A and B are shown apart, each in its own frame.
Chain A
Amino acid sequence: MKKIQILAIALLAISCNDDDAPQLINEEEVITTVEVSLTNLADPTNLVVLKSVDNDGDGPNEPVFTVTGTILANTNYLGSTRFLNEIESPVDDITLEVLEESLEHEVFYLTTVAGLTVIKTDTDTAGNPLGLRFDLATGAAGAGTITVILKHEPLKPNDNTPTGAGGETDVQVTFNVTVQ
């Protein structure tokens, strides 16, 4: 019996060795940054950037929204959207993954600004809308919100609404905008 005790203690002792610090894991799939760029088709110097940055991912800090440039009324803009993970170094451009898996993704744009329309101009490999590139046309001056929603594994084709598309929400950010 004593032998068993000694054996048990010995076995316990053997495994008490590794005490090295764990390796840091940076969240690889978190999207910290959503950036929507609008370029005035008639005036390339009229550039508008809508940006949402949540630098701690799923942490407690709220995303920070910035809008640079002026959205003009009755204007056609060429739009594009980028998704970044800025926790990683170098910064990981998740837009590339969305493009690569275009069949499993779609970006939706919702707005409360009267007269503002968004038409997706790019398609996935099956010819259905993808939404990373789009045309944005403004009507009369006004204020409201633009919401960008990235869906993973949505129903495709769909009725161009996030509700009808189902899937999982990977991004849902809302920008306050003013059309002047």
Chain B
Amino acid sequence: MFFKNTVFVIALFCAVLTNAQECNFTLKGAIIDFHDGQRLEAAQLYIRELNIAAVTSATGTYEFKDLCAGSYTIYITHIDCEPKQLTVKLSANKQQDIFLEHHIDQLQAIKIIADVHDDYQSTQSSTRIKQETLQEFRGATLGDALETVQGVTALKTGNSVVKPVIHGLYGSRVAIVNNGLRLQDQEWGVEHAPNIDVNAINTIQVIKGASALRYGGDAVGGTIVLEPARFIKKDTIKGSVTLQGQSNGRGGTITSQLDRYRKSGWYQHVTATAKRLGDFEAPDYVLSNTGSETRALHLTTGYESLAYGASVTYNYYDARIGILRASHIGSAADLVRSINAGQPFVVNDFTYAINAPRQEVVHHALQASAYKRFSGVGKLTALYSFQLNNRLEFDIRRGANANRAALDIDLQTQIAALHMLIDVLPKTTIEMGIDGAYQVNRPNPDTGVRRLIPDYTSVKAGGFASVLYKPSDVWILDAGLRYDHFMIDASKFYIQSRWESLGYNEQYPQFEVAQQGNQILTNPVFNYDLLAFTAGAKRVFNEHYDVALNLSTANRAPNPSELFSDGLHHALATIELGRLDLKMEQSFKLNAIFHANVGKLDLEINPHINRINDFIQLIPTGVETTTRGAFPVFQYEQVNAQIAGIDLSAGYDFWTRKTLKQNGNSSELTYDVVKMAHIDSRFSYLHGQNLTMNEPLIDMPPVQFTNRLTFYNVWKKLDVYVANQTVLEQARFPDYDYEAPVPQNDGSFVNETVRISQPPGSYSLWDVGISYEKKQFLGTQGAARVSLVAQNLLNTTYRNYLNRQRFYADEVGRNFNVQLNYHF
């Protein structure tokens, strides 16, 4: 028994031993493109332990013969591919197919190459903001950074509340997408700025039309896509610290960022920002109560590999923003006085204190996403986000209410989405997805002020599919379709007399729930079916010229403000009324893009026209008298509108220097072209018309020109620029002036015209800036950069048509902005 066992063990041992010494195994297989399953020719394989190499055949196969048993490390490389390393244990002949990521560079390169004229792979009108440009806006707002894009302007309330306007449209008509999902932060309000920290963003893409179907079809104005830094597949840590200080507002920002990447695929990002500013100053006076405080945090952790990946992101944004004290008025007569006086009624000494009126906003966003690539199919991504937005607004109030918020709204949104990208077909790329959003709006009843936006629950669910087809090297065709269903279920108290005067007691008796005091509780429920469609074609003539044409049509459901507003607006002395019977808006937009890139010149011309049927707009409808006096009533009405315009942008390197360079030790000589001076120009013109009433549309951005001349490397790495922004007076505006009885000192009343329509005059602002960068700062691996910019250098006094506070005060005056940055 013992003997038998021993023999068996020895026999076994011998078998292992003999196997190990046998060196006649073959390792063979194919190198395959992970995406389309295509076999890759001319891939190189190298076995480190044996120092032998092989190259794949025309059919993508390889073979290593006469290998001994054992464990081998194989390196596989192929042109345009990520190199791959593999450990193979060999104890018999083996067939091993190896997948390589062949397309990875092509997929991601789109976003690297197309810096300025983005999306050369699509027909839509879109512009990307470069990282260097974003760098200049550390310390400013997202809206300010977006203004560097031709066709994008800002609708402001003071200087800290900045909303982006794309081709004349803003608010619910512009979607802001952060990290793949839409930001939900009560964007319907004119005085609500996007709750985003500009410092945590790596790049911004602005799509000027409803063609970004993936993010929802109802963005009739356009979509702003914010993207975090891309994953780097190596063991490294990147980071930066920026200190920004400014003279106007006497404050600044500190922001720091740390990104850790692992070759294994794991990565983490952290960005933290704190900002504090006191009162801004116009050339002639302090803009009292315009200080602000912002804190923001961004955290991400994730894993990325060829086949799959996942990430979790958390964004926190907290802002406390002072609203110009003088802009809070009680009656139409107060507004007349303010407009006639030409300067604010309340001007106090500079302070950092932020009193009423002010906003306090907190936004939390938690997001999870995961993707998997399926060989021979494409990439499937699943996303989920939870967003909580709380907004408090403090008004000038009496007595015990002075420190009580007049508005306190919690908006909770959950979004789930599935997105599939099919990129294996040679000429066709298909994208499709489904998504759903569930939103709950809960105003706090303890404010002692009737709710501006009622309690509501809304559900939006939809799906889209789009195709990009490249029949040849010179043509790109794309098309897409999206459908959404939107349901909103609200509970709102109307003042009984209002409910009746609007005729709702006859039109919507089914919504009435109960009467309480002089108010009536109602339960309006609405459903909308939204359809969006986009199609376009692009022709590339040679590497220098291309022309694209894109049509997008979209529906937008009325937002809660348009449906349910009812009450006095304190900054404009108007009574604003929503309408329950609003229909969907329908937009048809045509964008044409002519692009030339010839030598030192890069030129883009983008004419566009947007026809919007049932465009929802506030229109004056009458006057109502209350204990405070008479107020004009503005009600949301639907008109047919047309917005046409043209954007031009040009960059020209008018001075370059060639330096002769010797390549290493070889005798080969090459020219190195160094950019010495560059001029950048942008021009935008818009023509907005209310076709129903045959009058111009309100709040259309006036004609503007922006020019910037930069000299590079004036001394070592010192750059200098001069910039000018000229905005003409908007000559086209509807006349919404109204008459208000203004009490005179002798007790009589004089009917005065409240001139709210006339846009302010044209203005021209000059900026100069200087920046210096030092690589390997103080012997470290990092680079330090210092910049000094003087904004509104000539301290020009002006007012901006698109600033809601233009009736009360001038814009800010001269500002010196210093920025110190260290990054590694």
Contact = CB atoms under 8 A, between A and B. Distances in A.
A41 to B, nearest CB: 23
Given A12-B416, A16-B438, A87-B517, A28 B497 contact: no
A106 interface: no
B628 interface: yes
Contacts of A155: 345
Interface in B117-168: none
Nearest to B436: A12
Given A12-B438, A22-B445, A112-B748, A57 B495 contact: yes
Contact of A110 (B416, B625, B744): B744
Nearest to B493: A24
Given A16-B438, A25-B451, A62-B625, A145 B331 contact: no
Given A25-B450, A57-B495, A169 B626 contact: no
Interface string B507-523: 00000010011110100
* Interface size of A as a range: 35 or more
Given A22-B493, A153-B396, A169 B334 contact: yes
28 contacts: A1-B380, A11-B384, A11-B386, A15-B412, A21-B521, A24-B517, A24-B519, A25-B445, A25-B451, A25-B493, A26-B448, A28-B448, A30-B627, A31-B628, A54-B627, A55-B518, A58-B495, A58-B575, A59-B497, A59-B501, A63-B625, A63-B626, A97-B400, A145-B748, A149-B743, A168-B329, A169-B629, A172-B333
Contact of A87 (B401, B518, B745): B518
A69 interface: no
Interface of B: 328-331, 333-334, 337, 345-346, 370, 372, 380, 382, 384, 386, 396-401, 412, 414, 416, 418, 436, 438, 440, 443, 445, 447-451, 454-455, 457, 491-493, 495-498, 501, 513, 516-519, 521, 567-568, 575, 624-629, 743-749
Interface of A: 1, 4-5, 7-9, 11-12, 15-16, 18-19, 21-34, 52, 54-63, 87, 89, 94, 97-98, 100-101, 110-113, 144-147, 149, 152-153, 155, 161-163, 166-174
Contact of A169 (B447, B497, B628): B628
B345 A28 contact: no
- Complex A-B, nearest 5 residue pairs according to Cβ-Cβ distance, in ascending order: A8-B416, A168-B330, A28-B448, A169-B330, A97-B399
Contacts of B436: 12
Contacts of B397: 29
A21 B333 CA distance: 39
Nearest to B500: A60
Given A22-B451, A22-B454, A31-B627, 15 more contacts: A11-B384, A16-B457, A22-B445, A25-B445, A26-B519, A27-B449, A52-B627, A60-B624, A100-B399, A111-B747, A112-B746, A147-B743, A147-B747, A169-B629, A174-B749
Contacts of B568: 58
Contacts, number: 182
B521 A24 contact: yes
A63 to B, nearest CB: 6
Contact of A171 (B624, B625, B628): B628
Nearest to B370: A4
Contacts of A7: 384
Contacts of A12: 414, 416, 436, 438
B499 to A, nearest CB: 9
Contact of B401 (A5, A23, A29, A149): A29
